[in-house]
Structure 1
Amino acid sequence: MSTLTRPKTDTVATTPGTLRGPARVLLRVHRKALWVAGGLLVIGIGIVVALRIWMAAAKELCADGDMTPCGGPVYQPSYARTSTELYLSDGGTVLLLLAGLIGVFVAGPLIARELESGTFRLAWAQSVSPAHWLAARLAVPAALAVVGLTVLIAVYRWGLWALRGYPYSHLTTWYGSGIFPGTGPALLGFALLAVAVGGLCAVLVRRTLLSMSLTGLVLGTVALGLHKRRYELWPHILRQGRGPQAVSPGDWHLDYGMLTASGHKLYWRDCLDTGTVEDARACMRARGAVTNFTEVHPASHYWPLQLVETGILLALAALAVFAAFRVLRRLHG
């Protein structure tokens, strides 16, 4: 008999119509974790607000944050503005880690610890079906994660908004690896995937530390894979020519090279190992290159990339939830 087999009881089983009862018990048992999560939420909001206040109070002679006379040949930003840019440049990564921690918590203290210790039998003996038991442990953290992270996304975008139009800024670009994951719905999709993966790993492994480790490994692999292949989620734009018209300030530059007369792409990276710049140009000419081109994602591709990534994460989350219930049913039945 499986260790997850529901114990027999003389209690009359009544299937609850909602998850209100199990959810209330879950919130009461883990109220300390809720206080910690609330504290992190307040700290995150406080950091962004403090940076905005610090930047607003900094001594600046020009509206763009220049401390030198306006229109002068030297641009010197205030320390508050450069520090704010530096801190916020990794805000998306921090929010991604917070979403991952939610999944790790679901895998360990929320589900696997009860399966490992056997306390789940108490809930199952009180007319709570295994499906309702697992659904409550997935739905409650998922709902709280969506609400909390939505607030943090809004606050983070508000903080980044203060840096718009900042000259010579290169740390807070919309496509930055430390910014993009924390500014849109893709973060919510990752949080839901974290909850789903945590639940699946818990019912599969049924060991607290091992479930938490496996969840972290899976989520880290997904995050790294999306980071490496994000530019492929939406077709890029090819711009021909050389000069300012080839790359705009808000473009995500992917690659560059030259086109042959027939339209075949030749990339500069294939000739850069030939030696000097002149050798590389000679290499390109020898291969028939005639026109420069640049592959970019313009700023208008932000939302398509966000939505496609969100769709992928939600699809993976749905598969993980389905697998978790199937595994629970197989072990229970």
Structure 2
Amino acid sequence: MSVLTPPRADTVTVARASLRGSVRVLLRVHRRSLWAAGGLLALCLAAVPGLLLWVKSQSSKELCPDGDMTPCGDDTYLATPARSVTESYLASGGSVVLLLSVLVGAFVAGPLIARELESGTFRMAWAQSVSPARWLAARLAVPAALGVAGISVLCLVYRWGWTEISGDGNTYGLAWFSASVFPGIGPVAVGYVLFGIAAGALCALLIRRMLLSMAATAVVLGVVIAAFTKRRWVLWPTERALDTGWTIDGNSWVTVWGMLTPSGEKLRWENCSVILGDTPAADCMKARGGVTPFTDYHPASHFWPLQLVETGILLALAALAAFAAFRVLRRLHG
């Protein structure tokens, strides 16, 4: 009877120990890569306060609150070298976050999973009471925990630096809706990291070749990033202003503007300008039946809805890719 009785307590203990053991092995085997990633993260984190201190050290040269070194109210704006460099760096913060997401996904696809499948070293772990599912779970959990923690800290520091500089008013390329800023100042960064990890695991299990898996992961992430960048404005309904004058503040994201016909058809200014060349755009629009100027835009209050919708889609894609990865693993190895 004792032989037939399932040892439930012992089984649970072995399962937990196996997962912890897999995590410890991963951390030990890839410790150099983790140290390198930590150093890169520390460098990015240190750059933001360092640049802000540099800007503050040259504040005595600025004659206006917006950082202008020329007299206030004139037609010339000249920023200090520190402010110009800082604005250029911070204007690319979101792109840096996306690049880090691609690197994390490629690392998961290549050295973490595909290399072991290609070389056959995974059999050693599976022969030591580590099931294939637990083996894959450890390779998803470790980069997910470290990646989410690191990218969250980086985004908080970047958002702080972005707020400090963009709050001065006269800045270039730091609009909240900029494609190179938006991904780095909200939770959408976490969504990209998690999707990169899940997509990398799925590509590795499907291809099982390190370099090809890394390349495929980069292509998948590149396509998703490009799609969101191009169509992000449709994730939340825009607002419409009907006016002959420009009444929208500079912190709003204008998506479409032109004139409406009596039937409600939208005529875009840029299309009219391209078609008729030197003909004044207003005359062109009226000739095509335009009667009411309109502007579709996202006010600054739409920042969080856009962030949360994009994050939700990315998390759903990540969950789908992770589920598919486990299904592929089960189909190939049981």
Q: How high is the TM-score relative to the length of structure 2? A: 0.91
Aligned mates of 2:289, 2:72 — CA distance in 1: 48
Separation of aligned partners in 2, 1:66 and 1:285? 41
Corresponding residue of 2:288: 287
Q: Which residue is equivalent to 2:308?
A: 307
Partner of 2:16: 17
Paired letter, 1:303: W
Q: Specify the code of the residue in structure 2 equivalent to 1:50.
A: G
CA contact 1:13–1:127 (8 Å) conserved in 2: no
User: Does residue 1:40 correspond to 2:40, yes or no?
Assistant: yes
TM-score by length of 1: 0.91
Matched residue type, 1:17 = R
Q: Secondary structure at the match of 2:128?
A: coil
Separation in structure 2 between the aligned mates of residue 31 and residue 241 of structure 1, nearest angstrom = 60
SS state at 1:66 partner: coil
Cα root mean square deviation, aligned: 1.7
More helix by share: 2
Q: Which residue of structure 2 lines up, in the alignment, with residue 257 of structure 1?
A: 258
Larger mean Cα displacement after TM superposition, 65-74 or 223-232: 65-74
Aligned partner of 1:103 in structure 2 is 105
Spell out the pairing of 1:61-210 with structure 2 (5 A cutoff): 61-72=63-74, 74-210=76-212
* Kept after mapping to 2: 8 A contact 1:238/1:293: yes
Structure 1 unaligned segments of length 5 or more: list them: 1-11
C-alpha displacement at 1:70, in angstroms? 4.0
CA offset digits 1:65-124 (Å, max 9, x no partner): 121234455432222112211111011101110111001000111011111111111111
Letter in structure 1 aligned against 2:26 = L
Counterparts of residues 219-230 of structure 1 (less than 5 Å): 219-230=221-232
1: CA distance, partners of 2:283 / 2:308? 42
Q: Which has the larger displacement, 46-55 or 142-151?
A: 46-55
Q: CA contact under 8 A between 2:65 and 2:168: conserved in structure 1?
A: no
Aligned counterpart, 1:331: 332
**Structure 2 CA distance, aligned partners of 1:192 and 1:167?**
34
- Residue of structure 2 equivalent to 1:8: none
Distance of 1:269 and 1:171 partners within structure 2: 22
Contact 2:67/2:79 (<8 A) preserved: yes
Aligned partner letter, 2:171: S
Q: Take 1:188 and 1:250, find their aligned partners in 2: how far apart are those partners? A: 25
State which drifts further: 235-244 or 159-168: 159-168
SS at match of 2:79: coil
Q: Is the 1:257–1:294 Cα contact (8 Å) retained in structure 2?
A: yes
Distance in 1 (CA, whole Å) between partners of 2:332 and 2:263 is 61
- Secondary structure of the 1:17 match is helix
More deviation, 57-66/175-184: 57-66
Distance, in Å, in 2 between the alignment partners of 1:87 and 1:51 is: 9
The unaligned stretches of length 5 or more in structure 2 are 1-9
The share of aligned pairs that are identical, in percent, is 58
State which drifts further: 53-62 or 85-94. 53-62
Counting only pairs closer than 5 Å after superposition, residues 39-58 of structure 1 correspond to structure 2 as: 39-58=39-58
CA distance in 2, matches of 1:164, 1:102: 29
Contact 2:93-2:181 within 8 A present in 1 as well = yes
The number of aligned residues is: 320
Q: Which residue is 1:320 aligned to?
A: 321
Q: Assess if the C-alpha contact under 8 Å between 1:236 and 1:296 holds in 2.
A: yes
Alpha-carbon distance in 2 for matches of 1:49, 1:178: 20
Q: What is the distance in 2 between the residues matched to 1:214 and 1:193?
A: 14
